[in-house]
């Protein structure tokens, strides 16, 4: 297929056929575009839409977000994962609001200097809000271009990234960069899908190299396989006189800035029994007086690069104790528990906890 024909056909599809609806679609406000892009990093549109709407309702502009308390923002983010996004989002909001008069940089180079904004997000804001001809490049774009132009180079390689970036830059419609970027993202999400592409109804099927080769699912070429790191967590949920002990998650790790219960991480699964729990409490924490111990079945949570195995052990204490921890620890009420930000795996346990029902 000739390069010049690609953007014309794509924009024709976008104008006449594309009916994908999203609340931020067509938005020109940099704050709203930025917020939607940060939320959609590592998050599906179906899941991210409600979060976007809740954030806009709670923080209608960048100044409202910048002035918000961290805990309120993290609570609203709860369930989205990749909490470094939320941390960087707050840092950028405060920089723009307090140091840049609430104005986003109007250049790609300026945008990419902000925390949490990478090439894709900078390209999206640049093209949608400032009409700059900077192509967005993500998994959808790699897939569309790889199939149509039958590209044998993997986008997982340095050579592949450079090749796709060069091709994408040459293809973008310079008069309508925002429409073009929106079109190619929507096309990849609704037509040129990963496993069930709608090839029979595709406007490119007369030109698509992968379709004509009858080998669509072989593109884009993949060479990297993610190896997940397995981790074993035991969370001790201490309760005494309607108070529950929590602590801050360690920095530079998953779920940074969220809260958790007292944690013991081991390199392999442990066979916890009530005698083993009592022995651990006495020897490691100098805690006695566990009136009741409940050991729950192992729960799992799959992250992009990690598989978490978690055991929750609920402990009713008969008298006040001091829990020794290197993290920020404190006792809170049940009401405060519902207002505190936890990882999803902990929040799911709390929803089904007998002790807290």
3 within 8 A of 204, measured Cβ to Cβ: no
37, 71, 109, 316: the catalytic one is 37
3-state SS string over the chain?
Answer: CCCCHHHHHHHHHHHHCCCCCCCCCCCCCHHHHHHHHHHHCCCCHHHHHHHHHHHHHHCCCHHHHHHCCHHHHHHHHCCCCCCHHHHHHHHHHHHHHHHCCCCCCCCHHHHCCCCCCCHHHHHHHHHHHHCCCCCCCCHHHHHHHHHHCCCCCCCCCHHHHHHHHHHHHHHCCCCCHHHHHHHHHHHHHHCCCCCCCCHHHCCCCCCCHHHHCCCHHHCCCCCCCCCCEEEEEEEEEEEECCEEEEEECCCCCCCCCCEECEEEEECCCCCCCHHHHHHHHHHHCCCCCEEEEEECCCEEEECCCEEEEEEEEEEEECCCCCCCCCCCEEEEEHHHHHCCCCCHHHHHHHHCCCCCC
336 is catalytic: no
Catalytic residue annotation: 37
């Amino acid at each position: 297929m000739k390069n010049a024909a690609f953007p014309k056909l794509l924009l024709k599809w976008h104008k006449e056929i594309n009916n994908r609806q999203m609340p931020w679609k067509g938005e020109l406000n940099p704050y709203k575009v930025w917020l939607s892009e940060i939320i959609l990093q590592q998050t599906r549109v179906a899941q991210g839409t409600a979060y976007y709407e809740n954030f806009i309702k709670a923080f209608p502009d960048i100044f409202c977000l910048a002035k918000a308390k961290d805990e309120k923002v993290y609570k609203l983010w709860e369930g989205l994962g990749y909490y470094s996004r939320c941390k960087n989002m707050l840092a950028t909001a405060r920089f723009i609001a307090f140091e840049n008069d609430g104005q986003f940089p109007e250049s790609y180079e300026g945008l990419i200097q902000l925390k949490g904004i990478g090439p894709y997000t900078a390209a999206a804001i640049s093209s949608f809000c400032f009409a700059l001809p900077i192509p967005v490049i993500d998994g959808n774009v790699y897939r569309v271009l790889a199939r149509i132009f039958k590209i044998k180079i993997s986008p997982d390689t340095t050579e592949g990234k450079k090749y796709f970036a060069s091709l994408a830059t040459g293809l973008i419609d310079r008069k309508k960069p925002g429409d073009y970027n929106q079109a190619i993202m929507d096309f990849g999400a609704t037509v040129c899908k990963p496993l069930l592409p709608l090839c029979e109804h595709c406007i490119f099927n007369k030109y698509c190299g992968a379709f004509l080769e009858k080998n669509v699912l072989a593109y884009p070429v993949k060479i990297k396989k993610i190896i997940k790191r397995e981790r074993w967590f035991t969370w001790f949920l201490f309760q005494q006189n309607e108070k529950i002990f929590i602590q801050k998650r360690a920095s530079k790790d998953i779920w940074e800035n969220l809260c958790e219960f007292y944690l013991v991480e081991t390199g392999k699964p442990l066979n916890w029994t009530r005698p083993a729990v009592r022995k651990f409490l006495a020897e490691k924490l100098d805690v006695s007086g566990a009136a009741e111990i409940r050991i729950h079945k192992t729960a799992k949570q799959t992250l992009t690069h990690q598989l978490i195995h978690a055991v929750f052990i609920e402990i009713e204490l008969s008298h006040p104790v001091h829990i020794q921890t290197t993290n920020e620890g404190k006792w809170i009420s049940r009401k405060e528990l519902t207002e505190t930000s936890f990882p999803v795996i902990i929040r799911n346990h709390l929803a089904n906890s007998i002790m807290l029902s």
